[in-house]
């Protein structure tokens, strides 16, 4: 037989084209208008249901004589046996076989099947349950008892077998037998439910003493909080208050450190509350709050607050509320021990409560949380814990030695090589001064200067020594201060001020000279001003002029010129000879002096104007401000003033526009004020004349 070359053996040597299923082409619906008779989905379903074929069921077989019955039994047994040989491990087949034998009332054969099934899988407790139920259903009590006995012996950890066995004995009225089964079960130490079932069994027959004995064994087997609470409630239910209290006390002794101890204490306190023993209940709550970790004491705090609101006085209620807030702060510091704001709030709470032991404990726990990084920004909040601790020990606890230890430990803890806190050194020194320990204060401040010198430390140390009148120490401290920070104008000024206050003018002048000779200063203008004010206060006008000239060699700032001019205008020397002259001569002499001072001031201002005109023509605004100040001074001179000297030099204000330049290019125009001085106006006029002359000349040439 020959096949096509496209034939596929897997398709019976047909080609794929032949094997394709050709579906009828869907007809195209031309008329899409709705039909006159509409069919609902319900009608479609009903019609489909009606057209279904009837279910095929096997015919019922009627057995009429013993021979037929024997044949039927033989055939069924053969079927079951064949099925068992094929699927021996299928327990459901065994169960069906045994139940069929039971339905035939052949109990010996049924037992035989059950036993064979148990040989296959005796660990299957379902088999035991079905087997025993069959025996009980057919009232073979001893057989059922035998099955249960074997089941609980082989599978003692299956609680259902024990429950069924006990239930059967109890239903038969065999209480002693049921108790015996319970005792066998308790030997295996079952879970709590087993023990509770035994207790309920005894209570059903009013055997309270037996139940109490079982409870004793129960709490030994399961030493859990729930077991002890059930035991105590059992005693309370039977009216044995003393025994219930004894149970709670024994439970607290054994389980005070248990994770579920909170429930035990709450139950114990509620028990005492029901017994009207409010003081006992309060003691239990307080004992619990002291011994249970704060993270697990939330329920106790809530119950305690409610208890105090019901039975306590104002002080007790406040104490309970403090306890609740204490719990909240404990939660916060447990979640983030480096949250120092939470520690501050916690400490304030404890200080308000006033318990010294607890306050110190919280302080110690707080300062133990050292910042992980040695950077000052992490320590700025932390250091106040130490400060508050030391102040508390000194002021509230009145423990001077402990406060001194706190300061010492804090100073040892700070990494002074990387950063330091001047406030700690100063507080420690001031503490020693308050204790009249001047030597200790000097030692602390000396260590501070040696290990972590700071402006605040020098200033405070000098202030202390100055108050004590130790001038030599102050001088030494100023020298160390200036060696450490030679650019500090404040230190130079204060040192010179000290010498001046001691009438050591030459020393003060030498200090100022050293100061202005420094190559770098943080605020030189203040130092020069202080030096000039010093010389003016000493009426050393020539020295002052010399200083101004030296300052102008360094800077030509507008303020220096104005200050120099004002000095010259007011620099009138005192002359004791005036006292010997007549009054008219004195007035003439003073007028002459005044005019001389004004001439000196004008000379300085002329010099300033010349500088701005020739050397710094771009500083038009400063020059205009200088002339404005000169005009004001001339006005203030009164009859000695000459405003016309300045008015001829004053500039004209011009409003101009200039382009705003940005990174992206021009961005519009802005208005600004420009100044045109008289010499610039003349230059501009000359330029206009020159341009006109060139234009005239060009026109003549063209003609």
Q: Is the distance from CB of 161 to CB of 128 less than 8 angstroms? A: yes
Q: Which two tokens stand for residue 426?
A: 């100063």
The answer on 472 and 397 residing in a single domain is yes
Of 430, 454, 485, which residue constitutes the final position of a domain?
485
The partner residues of 657 in beta bridges, in order of sequence, read 671
Residue 661, helix vs strand vs coil: strand
Whether 429 has a pLDDT exceeding 50, the answer reads yes
DSSP state for residue 9 in the 8-state scheme? G
Burial class (CB within 10 angstroms; exposed 0-12, middle 13-18, buried 19+) of 582: exposed
The answer on 457 and 376 residing in a single domain is yes
Mean pLDDT on 380-401: 86
The pLDDT score that the predictor gives to residue 496 is: 79
| Residue in 242, 210, 214, 208 with CA at minimum distance from that of residue 227 | 214
- b/e sequence 49-60, b meaning 16+ C-beta within 10 Å: eeeeeeeeeeee
The answer on 473 and 401 residing in a single domain is yes
The answer on 380 and 306 residing in a single domain is no
Cα(35)–Cα(28) distance, integer angstroms: 16
Q: Which two tokens stand for residue 2?
A: 């020959």
Q: Is the distance from CB of 328 to CB of 342 less than 8 angstroms? A: no
Give Cα separations from 397 to 355, 359, 390, 391, 405 (angstroms). Answer: 10, 10, 10, 9, 14
Percentage of the residues of the chain whose pLDDT score is greater than 70 = 87
The pLDDT score that the predictor gives to residue 354 is: 73
* Cα three-residue angle 190-195-200, rounded to 5 degrees: 150
| Residue in 230, 280, 328 with CA at minimum distance from that of residue 288 | 280
Cα(545)–Cα(696) distance, integer angstroms: 56
* Across 38-52, 288-302, 482-496, least confident range: 288-302
Q: Is residue 261 part of a domain?
A: yes
CB-based contacts of 350: which residues, under 8 Å, 6+ apart? 326, 358, 359, 362
DSSP state for residue 155 in the 8-state scheme? -
The answer on 397 and 480 residing in a single domain is yes
Q: pLDDT band at 2, cuts 50/70/90?
A: low
The pLDDT score that the predictor gives to residue 575 is: 46
Cα(92)–Cα(359) distance, integer angstroms: 73
Q: Is residue 686 part of a domain?
A: yes
Contacts made by residues 326-329, CB under 8 angstroms, sequence distance 24+ = 326/294, 326/350, 327/294, 327/297, 327/298, 327/301
Q: Is the distance from CB of 161 to CB of 155 less than 8 angstroms? A: yes
- Residue, of 142 and 693, whose pLDDT is higher: 142
- Residue, of 499 and 58, whose pLDDT is higher: 499
Q: Which two tokens stand for residue 328?
A: 């909240």
Q: Is residue 335 part of a domain?
A: no
Return the sign of the alpha-carbon dihedral for residues 351, 356, 360, 365.
negative
Q: Is the distance from CB of 203 to CB of 182 less than 8 angstroms? A: no
The pLDDT score that the predictor gives to residue 576 is: 45
What does the pLDDT look like over 282-321, one tens digit per residue? Answer: 888 878 777 777 666 667 777 776 776 667 655 555 665 6
The answer on 481 and 405 residing in a single domain is yes
Cα(90)–Cα(78) distance, integer angstroms: 17
The pLDDT score that the predictor gives to residue 185 is: 92
Of 292, 312, 332, which residue constitutes the final position of a domain?
312
Q: pLDDT band at 77, cuts 50/70/90?
A: confident
Give Cα separations from 191 to 215, 219, 224, 300, 514 (angstroms). Answer: 13, 12, 12, 28, 94
- Which residue's structure tokens are 């001194």? 404
The pLDDT score that the predictor gives to residue 578 is: 45
Q: Is residue 26 part of a domain?
A: no
Give the CATH number for residue 480: 1.25.40.10
The answer on 394 and 470 residing in a single domain is yes
Q: Is residue 70 part of a domain?
A: no
The answer on 480 and 385 residing in a single domain is yes
The answer on 378 and 451 residing in a single domain is yes
- Residue, of 386 and 699, whose pLDDT is higher: 386
Whether 260 has a pLDDT exceeding 60, the answer reads yes
Give Cα separations from 131 to 100, 125, 160, 304, 408 (angstroms). Answer: 13, 10, 14, 57, 84
| Residue in 122, 154, 148 with CA at minimum distance from that of residue 135 | 148
The answer on 306 and 391 residing in a single domain is no
| Residue in 433, 465, 467 with CA at minimum distance from that of residue 449 | 465
DSSP state for residue 459 in the 8-state scheme? H
DSSP state for residue 396 in the 8-state scheme? I
Averaged confidence pLDDT in the chain? 80
Q: Is residue 245 part of a domain?
A: yes
Quote the domain boundaries for residue 389: 370-485
What does the pLDDT look like over 526-540, one tens digit per residue? Answer: 877 887 787 778 777
What does the pLDDT look like over 553-580, one tens digit per residue? Answer: 777 787 877 787 777 777 665 444 444 5
- Which residue's structure tokens are 């047994």? 77
The pLDDT score that the predictor gives to residue 573 is: 55
What does the pLDDT look like over 582-593, one tens digit per residue? Answer: 565 657 767 777
What does the pLDDT look like over 204-250, one tens digit per residue? Answer: 999 999 999 999 999 999 989 889 989 999 998 888 888 989 998 89
Cα(670)–Cα(92) distance, integer angstroms: 101
The answer on 481 and 397 residing in a single domain is yes
Of 279, 312, 345, which residue constitutes the final position of a domain?
312
The answer on 479 and 390 residing in a single domain is yes
Cα(331)–Cα(296) distance, integer angstroms: 10
Contacts made by residues 470-477, CB under 8 angstroms, sequence distance 24+ = 471/498, 471/502, 474/498
* Across 276-290, 391-405, 429-443, least confident range: 276-290
What does the pLDDT look like over 114-155, one tens digit per residue? Answer: 888 888 888 988 899 999 998 999 888 998 899 999 999 999
Mean pLDDT on 325-331: 71
Q: Which two tokens stand for residue 220?
A: 């030994």
Burial class (CB within 10 angstroms; exposed 0-12, middle 13-18, buried 19+) of 123: exposed
Q: Is the distance from CB of 264 to CB of 258 less than 8 angstroms? A: yes
* Across 17-26, 278-287, 351-360, 620-629, least confident range: 17-26
Q: Is the distance from CB of 363 to CB of 389 less than 8 angstroms? A: yes
Q: Is residue 258 part of a domain?
A: yes
Q: Is residue 392 part of a domain?
A: yes
- Count of domains in the chain? 3
């Amino acid at each position: 037989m020959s096949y096509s070359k496209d034939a596929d053996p897997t398709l019976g040597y047909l080609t794929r084209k032949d094997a394709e299923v050709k579906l009828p082409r869907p007809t195209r619906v031309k008329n899409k208008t709705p039909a006159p008779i509409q069919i609902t989905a319900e009608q479609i379903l009903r019609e489909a249901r009606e057209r279904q074929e009837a279910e095929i069921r096997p015919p019922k077989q009627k057995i009429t004589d013993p021979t037929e019955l024997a044949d039927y039994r033989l055939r069924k047994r053969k079927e079951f046996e064949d099925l068992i040989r094929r699927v021996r491990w299928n327990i459901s087949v065994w169960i069906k076989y045994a139940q069929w034998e039971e339905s035939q009332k052949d109990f010996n054969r049924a037992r035989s099947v059950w036993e064979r099934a148990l040989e296959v899988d005796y660990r299957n407790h379902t088999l035991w349950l079905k087997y025993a139920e069959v025996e009980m259903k057919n009232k073979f009590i001893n057989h059922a008892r035998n099955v249960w006995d074997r089941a609980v012996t082989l599978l003692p950890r299956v609680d259902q077998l024990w429950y069924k066995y006990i239930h059967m004995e109890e239903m038969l009225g065999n209480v002693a037998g049921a108790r015996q089964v319970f005792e066998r079960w308790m030997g295996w130490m079952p879970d709590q439910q087993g023990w509770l079932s035994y207790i309920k069994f005894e209570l059903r027959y009013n055997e309270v003493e037996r139940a109490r004995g079982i409870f004793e064994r129960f709490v030994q087997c399961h030493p859990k909080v729930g077991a002890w609470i059930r035991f105590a409630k059992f005693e309370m239910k039977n009216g044995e208050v003393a025994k219930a209290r004894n149970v709670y006390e024994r439970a607290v002794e054994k389980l005070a450190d248990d994770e579920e101890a909170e429930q035990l204490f709450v139950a114990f306190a509620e028990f005492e509350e029901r017994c009207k023993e409010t003081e006992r209940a309060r003691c239990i709550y307080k004992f619990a709050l002291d011994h249970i970790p704060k993270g697990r004491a939330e329920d106790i705090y809530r119950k305690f607050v409610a208890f105090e609101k019901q039975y306590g006085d104002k002080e007790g209620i406040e104490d309970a509320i403090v306890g609740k807030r204490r719990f909240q702060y404990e939660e916060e510091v447990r979640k983030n021990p480096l949250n120092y704001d939470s520690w501050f709030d916690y400490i304030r709470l404890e200080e308000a409560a006033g318990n010294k032991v607890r306050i110190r404990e919280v302080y110690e726990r707080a300062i133990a949380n050292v910042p992980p990084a040695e950077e000052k920004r992490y320590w700025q909040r932390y250091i106040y814990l130490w400060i508050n601790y030391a102040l508390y020990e000194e002021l509230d606890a009145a423990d001077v030695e402990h406060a001194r230890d706190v300061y010492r430990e804090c100073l040892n803890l700070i990494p002074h090589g990387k950063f330091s806190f001047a406030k700690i050194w100063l507080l420690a020194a001031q503490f020693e001064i308050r204790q009249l320990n001047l030597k200790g204060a000097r030692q602390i401040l000396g260590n501070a200067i040696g290990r972590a010198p700071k402006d605040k430390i020098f200033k405070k140390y000098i202030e202390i020594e100055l108050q004590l009148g130790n001038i030599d120490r102050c001088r030494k401290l100023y020298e160390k201060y200036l060696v450490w920070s030679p650019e500090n104008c404040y230190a130079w000024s204060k040192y010179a001020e000290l010498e001046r206050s001691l009438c050591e003018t030459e020393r003060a002048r030498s200090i100022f000279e050293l100061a202005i000779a420094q190559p770098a200063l943080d605020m030189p203008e203040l130092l020069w001003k202080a030096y000039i004010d010093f010389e003016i206060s000493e009426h050393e006008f020539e020295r002052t002029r010399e200083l101004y000239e030296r300052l102008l060699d360094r800077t030509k700032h507008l303020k220096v010129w104005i200050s120099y001019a004002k000095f010259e205008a007011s620099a009138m020397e005192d002359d004791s000879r005036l006292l010997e002259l007549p009054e008219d001569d004195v007035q003439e002499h003073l007028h002459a002096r005044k005019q001389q001072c004004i001439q000196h001031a004008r000379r300085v201002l002329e010099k300033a104007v010349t500088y701005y005109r020739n050397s710094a023509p771009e500083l038009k605004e400063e020059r205009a401000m200088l002339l404005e100040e000169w005009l004001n001074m001339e006005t203030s001179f009164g009859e000695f003033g000459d405003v016309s000297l300045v008015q001829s030099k004053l500039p004209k204000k011009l409003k101009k526009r200039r382009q705003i330049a940005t990174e992206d290019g021009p961005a519009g125009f802005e208005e600004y004020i420009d100044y045109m001085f008289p010499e610039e106006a003349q230059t501009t006029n000359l330029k206009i004349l020159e341009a006109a002359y060139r234009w005239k000349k060009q026109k003549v040439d063209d003609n």
